[in-house]
Amino acid sequence: MKGGKPRTMRYGAAILAAVMLLALALGCAARNAGEPDGGAGGPAAAGEDAGAGGRSRDGESAIAGAEDEANHNGEDAANGETAHAENDGAGADEPAEPSVQADIPSLAEAYAGFFPIGAAITPEQTEGLMAELLKKHVNMLVAENVMKPSILQPTEGQFRFEQADKIVGFAKANGMEARFHTLVWHQQVPAWFFYDKDGKRMVDETDPAKREENKKLLLERLEKHVRAVVNHFKDDIKSWDVVNEVIEPADPGGMRNSEWYQIAGIDYIETAFRAAREAGGPDIKLYINDYNTNEPAKRDRLYELVKELLDRGVPIDGVGHQTHVSVDWPSAASLIESMRKFAELGLDNIVTEMDMSLYAWNDRRDYGDNIPESVIKKQADRYREFFEAFRDNKDLVSAVVFWGIADAHTWLHDFPVQGRTDAPLLFDKNLQAKPAFWSVIEAAKE
């Protein structure tokens, strides 16, 4: 007896355990003999999963992440044919790793006969996978933030061009055109612009003579800023957003009641355009940029302002239409109608900041990672609507610039609902082409 059990019982249990282990090993070997060896990274059988969500296509090796995470309508991102349904419920496979699809069309090449395709980027996106995605699909770049006054001249007289230079250098190195955004805005402008020589806020001044003195000082500061920035970039940038978002129909007179406007009226707009032209010469193109330009009230007030400035001889070359739209609003036709109105003044039109939210303005829902197939399809249909309109009116539209390139990075995350993500662009968060991408590609075919 040992531990309360006979020795013969212990020997019998050991023999039984050994027999069971041997049987299990033989069974596993027999089951694995018929499966392909995926350990070397080779292609899987046609239609089967390969690695972490990748799939083989037409006998080629599977590309990591080819199963588009946002592609909830089951459409194959490579050829438009029906694909396996994606598991978007509990227990789904791990998400694919980000990658750049080499075997899909280039957006820039698809629209080479119509207009450039651009994207807003950050300096960090000039390296890594995002840079490779940009190099494949766009031929125009604009800085999302680092060309704004608060970045370029945070302290009076001290300019910081390094981050903007990185984007411009990346554009040049890859044969892309660069745009500038923006010389003047009511946001992301350093406070020092709006304080007088005594350190007092200019808008708080009530003495008429002092207010006139402050206006002169503000316009001098603005002119110096514009001249310095344009002189720095004029050899590399030909397309400039000079002023941004100066119209607000709800404010007095329809002009945005910013500190710029309260202190200087519309003279700050005129000063910025004239300084830009004088510093940059006749070859650069100068734009006034705004959102919701399709709305009649805003469009008409912007038209009145631009016409007044043109009548004064202010050098405005075109209108930038931001085009932050949603799957529900507005119609492409309403935007084209606005473009025609400005074209009658001899002005160019650029789509400067396009993206398409999944949500209407007051929609507080959050789809999370489970975006309904119907919404993904609606986004694709709406992108097709816009790009068919741009294609058919290429005489009005000189460029289309997206405000970003993939859903991994967009200003619409947390806006206007904190904690909510959005998916407004043509590539998903793993940089894979969405149904909207294929709609835009199809729209290039007349």
User: In the prediction, which pLDDT does 322 show?
Assistant: 98
Q: Catalytic residue, from 245, 248, 270, 388: name it.
A: 245
Q: Kindly report the average pLDDT of the chain as a whole number.
A: 84
Other beta carbons within 10 angstroms of residue 76's beta carbon come to 17
Alpha carbons 422 and 76: distance in angstroms, whole number: 22
Active site residue 205: no
Q: Among 224, 230, 327, which Cα is nearest to 280's?
A: 230
Lowest mean pLDDT, pick from 15-24, 398-407, 421-430: 15-24
243-282 pLDDT, tens digit per residue, is 999 999 999 999 999 999 999 999 999 999 999 999 999 9
Decide if pLDDT at 313 tops 90: yes
Residue type, 226: V
48-59 pLDDT, tens digit per residue, is 222 222 222 233
Q: Catalytic residue, from 205, 248, 353, 388: name it.
A: 353
At 274, list the tokens.
Answer: 């004239």
Which band of pLDDT confidence, cut at 50, 70 and 90, is reported for residue 430?
A: very high
Alpha carbons 203 and 207: distance in angstroms, whole number: 11
Alpha carbons 105 and 102: distance in angstroms, whole number: 8
Decide if pLDDT at 360 tops 50: yes
User: In the prediction, which pLDDT does 130 show?
Assistant: 98
User: In the prediction, which pLDDT does 446 show?
Assistant: 73
Active site residue 388: no
Residue 218 · residue 262 · CB < 8 Å? no
User: In the prediction, which pLDDT does 25 show?
Assistant: 39
Residue type, 227: R
285-300 pLDDT, tens digit per residue, is 999 999 999 999 999 9
Which three-class secondary structure string do you get for the chain? Answer: CECCECHHHHHHHHHHHHHHHHHHHHHHHHHHCCCCCCCCCCCCCCCCEECCCEECECCECCCCCCCCCCCCCCECCCCCCECCCCCCCCCCCCCCCCCCCCCCCCHHHHCCCCCCEEEEECHHHHCHHHHHHHHHHCCEEEECCCCCHHHHCCECCECCCHHHHHHHHHHHHCCCEEEEEEEECCCCCCHHHHECCCCCEHHHCCCHHHHHHHHHHHHHHHHHHHHHHHHHHCCCEEEEEEEECCECCCCHHHECCCHHHHHHCCHHHHHHHHHHHHHHCCCCEEEEEECCCCCHHHHHHHHHHHHHHHHCCCCCCEEEECCEEECCCCCHHHHHHHHHHHHCCCCEEEEEEEEEECCCCCCCCCCCCCCCHHHHHHHHHHHHHHHHHHHHCCCCEEEEEECCCECCCCCCCCCCCCCCCCCCCCECCCCCECHHHHHHHHHCCC
Alpha carbons 69 and 77: distance in angstroms, whole number: 10
Decide if pLDDT at 376 tops 80: yes
| Percentage of residues of the chain with pLDDT beyond 70 | 79
Alpha carbons 337 and 293: distance in angstroms, whole number: 10
